[in-house]
Amino acid sequence: MGWTGDEDRRRHITKTVGYALQYGIDEKAALESNELYKMGLTQQDILKFARDYLRSKPQMVATKRAVFNECATTGMSRTFLGHRRRLYGRIEDRMKEGWNHKIQGGNAGMMNLNVIDISHWADDDVGETMNHLVFQAHDGLTWAFDNSYDPHEAVASMRQYMERTWDVDGFKLRVPCTWEVIRADGSVEHVK
């Protein structure tokens, strides 16, 4: 029997458990999610959901275990782009911090390379004085262009960088984006 929609309680529990376990060392990490207790789950319920979730993700568990072991023994973590971070403290802290760096540092590195590539493209194609980075967030950015530049051309050009395929430790990963054009008058157009 499948889920009955976005409001299905099982979907909400599964997503919450998944987020809790994304950075945790084992199933006990799910016990730290107050959201699960608010849904009326007991510690036993949470641990059962967490174990079932981890059993359904053997590749993720194996990858995390390998990264945890490497971080614990070397005291170092590297993103898929090669960015290094030294790890200190207790072994458990090194394991969690190393995994976090591998994920978050990889994401930040991707965004930084996107910004550099878009900046080079925009300066060459649009002109240095007609564009600039307004705001960069964890997983998104806002770029401003002079009103004379066609926003749909900008989206088409930026898409080649933002939605490129990355080789993440042998896995091909393409990150789809949501695009909006916000005009000077404040109107918003969602672009496909």
What contacts 70, CB < 8 A, 6 or more positions away? 76, 77, 98
**Separation of alpha carbons 71 and 191, rounded Å:** 42
Residue 94: the pLDDT is 93
> pLDDT grade, residue 54 (50/70/90)?
very high
**Separation of alpha carbons 17 and 22, rounded Å:** 9
pTM: 0.78
Matching residue, tokens 């290094």: 84
What contacts 117, CB < 8 A, 6 or more positions away? 161
Residue 106: the pLDDT is 94
**Which CATH topology does 9-104 take?**
DNA polymerase; domain 1 (1.10.150)
The span from the first CA to the last CA of the chain, in angstroms, equals 33
Q: Where are the domains of the chain?
A: 9-104, 108-191
Closest of 182, 175, 171 to residue 139, by C-alpha = 175
Residue 150: the pLDDT is 87
- Decide: 13 and 49 in contact? Cβ < 8 Å: yes
Angle at which helices 151-162 and 106-125 cross, to 10°:
140
Return the amino acid letter for 69.
N
For 132-191, the pLDDT digits (tens) are: 899 988 788 999 988 888 889 999 999 999 999 999 988 899 999 999 999 889 999 999
